[in-house]
Amino acid sequence: MIVKKSRVVIIGVGNVGVTTAFSLVTQGICDEVVLIDINEERAIGEVMDLSQSIEFLNRNVAVKKGTYEDCRDADVIVMTACAPMTSDNNRLLWLEATKGIVKGIVENVMANGFDGIFVVVSNPVDIISYYIYKLSGLPGNQIIGTGTSLDSARLKCFIGELIDVDPRSINAYVLGEHGDSEMIPWSCVRVGGKDIYSIIRDNPWRITEEDLDKLLKKTMQAGWEIFNRKGNTSYGIATSAVGIIKAILQNENKIIPVSALLSGHLGEEDVFIGVPVILNRTGAKEIVELEMTEAEKQLFKASCDHVRKYYDMLGI
């Protein structure tokens, strides 16, 4: 009997790629992690370093430097390759350079018969996810961008700090673009099952409606606050990606806000955008259509329209 090993291929071994690999290895999420990078010596060095950490971990995850041939039997490909980050505080400015990088990679991946799931980290993630969907020819459920997964985690962290509650006891999503047009459906936010507006009414010394606008702005700027201090962001986005991969490989049916293809969902068509999605071995199993207010629906629509404006730049 042949037992199929789970394989995750990471393309792009910069700060985010290698941190994703480290998180996969330390959590023992899969059987094999394969690293691919144009800088082969860097990839070899990272493989050596990761492999030599196994002694002190709970599971012997195999780590290797790979080629595009390794994509044939991969369950998940993590796309982290993109143009270098700049201090312009606008992910959309990276689109022109990143799409050229991504195009060649996707062509090589698909030429080797890949039929698994893409987890896209490369920014601007919503547009690049759509681009990979079009280039690859794979069904929409097999393309998943990290989207607003990290934004939502940051929002929960900030709400938790404000009202002194563990973020894991908070149910809240950031929706829309992973960028300046993202929005928060506050009508759907719950803390221990209690809606946020009831908490404001009953606990005005903890949180007010004025705090909600501040929380949105803080969430939108959180990545840049980190980048401007350390020159990159890695731990948050890498663990978000690994959370998505875990939900896929372990067939969790877990709801995570990711960039997924909308086909009539929430009134939108043919756009990759951040929404809550049930994730399992099939990829994006089902989109959760939240009951938003009319004002929130308009904000979400505006974010979708904003992302679509850049599709003409993709040339597909």
Task: Give dist(CA 23, CA 6) in Å, integer.
Answer: 16
Count the Cβ atoms, other than its own, within 10 Å of residue 2.
Answer: 4
Helices (H), the chain: 15-27, 40-51, 95-111, 125-136, 149-163, 196-202, 209-230, 235-249, 294-308
Consecutive H or E run containing 285: strand 283-287
Secondary structure letter of residue 147 according to DSSP = T
Nearest Cα residue to 10 out of 53, 74, 103, 94: 74
178 counts as catalytic: yes
Q: Give the active site residue among 65, 156, 178, 246.
A: 178
Q: Cβ neighbours of residue 76 under 8 Å, at least 6 residues apart?
A: 7, 8, 9, 30, 116, 117, 118, 119, 245, 248, 249
Q: Crossing angle, helix 235-249 and helix 15-27, to 10 degrees?
A: 50
CA distances from 247 to 57, 187, 244 (A): 21, 26, 5
- Catalytic residue positions? 178
